Amino acid sequence: MVLTKEEVNNLISAKSNDDFFFSAVPLPISRVSSVYFESEQLKDKISTLINLSTAFIPKSILKTFQNEKSVEVEKIDLPAIDKTPDYSEELKKYNSLLGGFAIMKLAREPYMNFSENYFSTLSYFNSVIEEELSKVKKVASIYHDVFIGKDSFKSLKPFLEKVISEDDLNSIAKNESQKIKKDVITGLIDFNSLDRATYIIAVLYSFGVGDEGRKSKVDGLILNNFHKNVKTDKSEVIALCYGLNRGYSVFSNKYRNESNEQLVKFELNSKLDYYTIESIYQYAINSIKSNSFEYLGSIIPRAEFKAKKLSKNDYYILDKLVITERIKVGEPKWWSRFLNFFFQKNQEELFRPFLISAFQKIKEDLEDEFITEIENKDSELQNLKNQNLDLTQKLKDAEKKEVKSQKGKANDTEVKSNESTFHEPAVEYSPTKETDNNQLIDLKEKVRDYEKLLKSIDKQTAMQKAKKLIADFHMQSNSDELFKNQD
């Protein structure tokens, strides 16, 4: 084991053997310099079993005893300790943080080796990594609050520290005024209908790891880099939160199917792996942000060669080449970064004339567009007013015609009553009269519709909404045919 000076001073010696010591403080895997076995056969057997699914053990630390007697552990006397410190909460945090970063790095494009904000998030625990990252890109603190829970992750953090139940899901959904919708046949949650913390908790609740009895398995998310069944802009935060919630120990060291394999756990084959584990350990156990670790120098593997950059945007963190996302010119992300470049402080004066000209051009085009829209609106309003006047006149003519018809009917009745000649009773039927009545009703309805439309348009200030009112009205009516019937 590799120990700091302080840790060495706190060791407790075994009574019966001065070569054995006990530490009251738990130590991380990154401190193991050698693991000894009694034979090559035993070494190969145990290391194979561990590397199969549990973890990765570097071959460089596996050794066998040479010409030495085996150690009889049962004869070692344990020292008397009055009170053993309880590190259960610290170890739980350590396991959670390791799980978060192990899974977070998988939320990436297949050709990448780390997620977009992985190192920005890791820099929260180590200033050396933060300094190296700041030389090549801006350090984003977007996920830093997930470790504190005072701001953007305030409502979410308590759930990340417990086994999530359906009651927890319903509780956070209620707090965020969201509704959990499930398929009536499969019982699967409709994730697309959710957002914010409710969405994250719903995914964490639905996907199980290992023997968990959940609707789906997380294996599929891992093998698809958290791109399938997860919203594109949520894949990284989902991966981070899932790892934090489940913890490092529950995952296999790798996941595979017929066409793909994803390595999850740390291989301990780089300086970056050792710095990552040690930084998380120092934060979880001692609540400190780390710097460099000189005491690990003797066991950190040295890279035989430096990998060549595949793109000008690729960069190194410690001894690890970071393969960045390939963004084609013209894609939404490209435009976003392009515009951010203009607003950097050191570019402000250089691009100020261009930006002023651009804003002026945009202002002029918008003014021209609104003037045209206003003119079109005035024209539409005038046409509607003219149509309303025509309808009003036609209604008046129809009413006069109706009055005249009623008078004619009264005169006919009076004449017939004065006749002495007896006539057979007959049923009177007049298609023309019935049609006239229907047209009169239609005209009245049409006039009222136009009046309502004009009042609605007069209240509008946005041209688009006014145009929509007009279009909807014409879709629902057939005024031209009505006018034709009246001519």
* Three-class secondary structure of residue 421 per DSSP: coil
Could you read off the pLDDT of 244-270 as tens digits, one per residue?
999 999 999 999 999 899 999 999 999
Q: What is the pLDDT of residue 312?
A: 79
What is the C-alpha separation between 33 and 421, in angstroms, rounded? 133
Could you read off the pLDDT of 12-41 as tens digits, one per residue?
887 766 778 888 899 999 999 999 888 899
Tokens 């957002």 identify what position?
195
Top pLDDT among 71 and 194 is at: 194
Top pLDDT among 109 and 470 is at: 109
Choose from 10-14, 111-115, 397-401, 406-410 the range with maximum mean pLDDT: 111-115
Amino acid, res. 358? A
122 contacts: CB under 8 Å, gap ≥ 6: 101, 129, 276, 279
Q: Which two tokens stand for residue 73?
A: 């552990």
What is the C-alpha separation between 332 and 337, in angstroms, rounded? 9
Could you read off the pLDDT of 145-179 as tens digits, one per residue?
999 999 999 999 999 999 999 999 999 999 999 99
Which of 178-187's residues contact partners 24+ apart within 8 Å by CB, and which partners?
Answer: 186/215, 187/215
What is the C-alpha separation between 239 and 116, in angstroms, rounded? 12
Kindly list the domain boundaries of the chain, sorted by start residue. 5-75, 88-322, 357-402+433-486
Q: What is the pLDDT of residue 425?
A: 45
What angle in degrees, to the nearest 10, is found between the helix axes of 166-175 and 196-206?
A: 170
**Count helices and strands in the chain by DSSP H and E runs:** 16, 10
Tokens 């006919």 identify what position?
412
pTM of the model: 0.68
Top pLDDT among 332 and 397 is at: 397
Q: Is the pLDDT of residue 107 over 60?
A: yes
Residues 247-283: b if buried by 16+ CB within 10 A, e if exposed: bbeebbbbbeeeeeebebbbebbbbbbbbbbbbbbbb
What is the C-alpha separation between 194 and 196, in angstroms, rounded? 7
Under 8 Å between Cβ of 288 and 282 = yes
Residues 393-412: b if buried by 16+ CB within 10 A, e if exposed: ebbeebeeeeeeeeeeeeee
Tokens 């200030």 identify what position?
461
**Mean predicted confidence (pLDDT) in 35-55:** 90
Q: Provide the pLDDT confidence category of residue 337 given band limits of 50, 70 and 90.
A: low
Q: What is the pLDDT of residue 401?
A: 79
| Closest by CA position to 446, among listed 471, 403, 478, 470 | 478
| Percent of the chain surpassing pLDDT 70 | 72
Half-sphere exposure of 32 (CA within 13 A, CB side): 16
Q: Is the pLDDT of residue 435 over 70?
A: no
Beta carbons within 10 angstroms of residue 453's beta carbon: 20
Top pLDDT among 342 and 201 is at: 201
Could you read off the pLDDT of 284-305 as tens digits, one per residue?
999 999 999 999 999 998 876 6
Amino acid, res. 152? S
DSSP conformation class of 290: B
**In a 10 Å sphere around its CB, with 0-12 CB exposed, 13-18 middle and 19+ buried, how is residue 223 labelled?**
middle
Could you read off the pLDDT of 208-238 as tens digits, one per residue?
998 888 989 999 999 999 998 899 899 999 9
What is the C-alpha separation between 473 and 147, in angstroms, rounded? 56
